Amino acid sequence: LPLLSLLSLLSPRGSAASSCPSGCVCASNLLSCSRANLSTVPSPLPRFCSVLDLSHNNVSRLRGDWAPARLPHLHTLLLSHNGLAFVSTEAFGHVPRLRHLDLSSNRLRALDENLFSALGELEVLLLYNNEISTVDRTAFEDLARLRKLYLGRNRIARFPLELLREGSRLPQLALLDLSANRLRSVPSTELQALPAWLRDRLYLHDNPLACDCPLYQLLARGHRRHLSAVVDFQEELRCFPQGAATAVTVLGAAGKRLLNCSEAKEAVLEAHLGDSVTLGCDSRWQGVRSRHWVTPAGDKVAAGDSGGNGSVALLANGSLELRELRAEDAGTYACWVSGPAANETLYVELLVHNFTLHGPHDTLNTAYTTLVGCILSVVLVLIYLYLTPCRCCCCRGGAEKAAGPRDDSINSSVLSTTPNHGEHGGGRVPEGQAGGPGQNGRFKGGGTPPLPPRQGPKAQRKVSDPDSVSSVFSDTPIVV
């Protein structure tokens, strides 16, 4: 009998029964105080407790001393449906091993600074169905293992992008629920850059979003990729057109018909000859076992393989690197992924422009160069026609001088055989002479009509020979 009594005192069942709070149910390492009409957390709590259920009570404030002793084994704490309106920043100092925390369906209005920083091992945090409108930027600091965060059915009006950007604050976050809040816009471009495995668990439905093309592109790509956050809630993904009071579905009425948005392509990459590019394999699966690529030519590129004289290589993260692009490298590349639950095939279309981006001959493109050449040609012709300097046939001075014999003509040229119209002392050429002296000692048959006598102070003007055919472009002598 003494031995049996000693064993009963040392057994876990006996210790649990002796330390189980009044009104609660203890089962092994589980402690359930649900629907016990509690206004405070019962005390003392057994140290062996690993799951504590305090849901559906009236615990409106969670102070820092709710657990006076350290609970090293507690990994699940359920506090939903309590009317909880205040949580101390020191409330979780005694439960550092907590992995699952349920604070849903309460009256929390703000998440204060460093509220959950003591929970370094927390993986699931439920905060849905509260009155949260303010989220401090440091509220989720040091939650390096947090995988699922539920913030749906609150009053959040600004998208907490800092939770996702660069993966530095919550590096293992795989699910973010922001549904049924007051979001009017989301950073669509930055969300599109997130890995597909996170976009597959980013819930944005039942928000009063404004309709725009970036939002449509984001959801259309998700629908094409069969992301569950889009496919399962496409009817609840609604937006308000500008000036409208009624919401429409983003993928339906707010798509091409209403917004006139361009087609949402899955992955299109543009490059130029000689560039080096990296094609990402944006899979929905984490923990991918293997990947390989298939080029447009049908060649398979796996880990350790290289093709095209070393110009193609598969990187450690599954991306495909292409160096020194050629025109024949353009086309559709396929990434084959073997995931933990299923396989997936991703397609990336590569467009290679048939010119280098930074080559010296690309300062002006061909069309622009042609246009400039045409304009310069026209300008040169106009300059030649209208701005060519010419010799003056008349000279004006202080005193007028009589016109002397002239050996030049405005119609003559060094390239023409047309003689100058000579004059002998202002008289006419003798009739018996075959012609007057001309250019280069040549003579022209036939006389030249006499010049009219000078009248007044002005000098006589030359008269062009109607029989002369001269041109500045002629270089062949013509003898008449």
- By CB atoms closer than 10 A (0-12, 13-18, 19+), residue 231 is middle
Whether the model pTM is above 0.75? no
Q: Return the higher-pLDDT residue of 172 and 182.
A: 182
The whole-number pLDDT of residue 462 equals 45
Classify residue 416 by its DSSP letter: -
The whole-number pLDDT of residue 7 equals 35
The whole-number pLDDT of residue 175 equals 93
Residue 449 pLDDT exceeds 70: no
The whole-number pLDDT of residue 268 equals 73
Q: Return the higher-pLDDT residue of 322 and 428.
A: 322
- Least confident piece of the model among 91-95, 139-143, 173-177, 349-353: 349-353
Q: Are the CB atoms for 124 and 99 separated by under 8 Å?
A: yes
The pair phi, psi for residue 278, each rounded to 5°, is: -125, 125
Residue 276 pLDDT exceeds 90: no
Range of 148-157, 336-345, 353-362, 443-452 with top mean pLDDT: 148-157
Rounded to an integer, the average pLDDT of 305-333 is 79
The whole-number pLDDT of residue 308 equals 54
The whole-number pLDDT of residue 436 equals 47
Residue 208 pLDDT exceeds 70: yes
pLDDT digits (tens, 9 = 90+) for 8-65: 333 343 344 457 888 899 988 999 999 999 999 998 888 889 999 999 999 999 998 8
Classified by CATH at the fold level, domain 269-353 comes out as Immunoglobulin-like (2.60.40)
The whole-number pLDDT of residue 398 equals 47
Residue 375 pLDDT exceeds 80: yes
Rounded to an integer, the average pLDDT of 187-205 is 87
Cα(457)–Cα(315) distance, integer angstroms: 97
Residue 275 pLDDT exceeds 90: no
- Least confident piece of the model among 21-25, 86-90, 237-241, 286-290: 286-290
The whole-number pLDDT of residue 41 equals 92
The whole-number pLDDT of residue 193 equals 78
Residue 212 pLDDT exceeds 70: yes
- Cβ-proximal residues to 219 (8 Å cutoff; 6+ apart), any chain: 230, 234, 237, 250, 251
Q: Are the CB atoms for 183 and 207 separated by under 8 Å?
A: yes
Q: Share the mean pLDDT of the chain.
A: 76
Q: What percentage of the chain carries pLDDT values higher than 90?
A: 30
The whole-number pLDDT of residue 50 equals 95
CB neighbourhood size of 351 (10 A): 11
The whole-number pLDDT of residue 431 equals 45
pLDDT digits (tens, 9 = 90+) for 390-445: 655 554 544 444 444 444 444 444 444 444 444 444 444 444 444 444 444 444 44
Residue 373's pLDDT band, with cuts at 50, 70 and 90, is: confident
Residue 167's pLDDT band, with cuts at 50, 70 and 90, is: low
Closest CA to 236 of 252, 221, 214: 252
Residue 197's pLDDT band, with cuts at 50, 70 and 90, is: confident
* Angle subtended at Cα 464 by Cα 459 and Cα 470, rounded to the nearest 5 degrees: 135
Range of 7-16, 105-114, 161-170, 290-299 with top mean pLDDT: 105-114
- By CB atoms closer than 10 A (0-12, 13-18, 19+), residue 189 is exposed
The whole-number pLDDT of residue 344 equals 72
pLDDT digits (tens, 9 = 90+) for 234-269: 999 999 988 888 899 988 866 666 777 776 666 777
Residue 326 pLDDT exceeds 90: no
Parse the chain into domains and list their residue ranges. Answer: 269-353
Q: What are the tokens at 380?
A: 């040169």
User: Which is it for the CA torsion 69, 70, 73, 76, positive or negative?
Assistant: positive
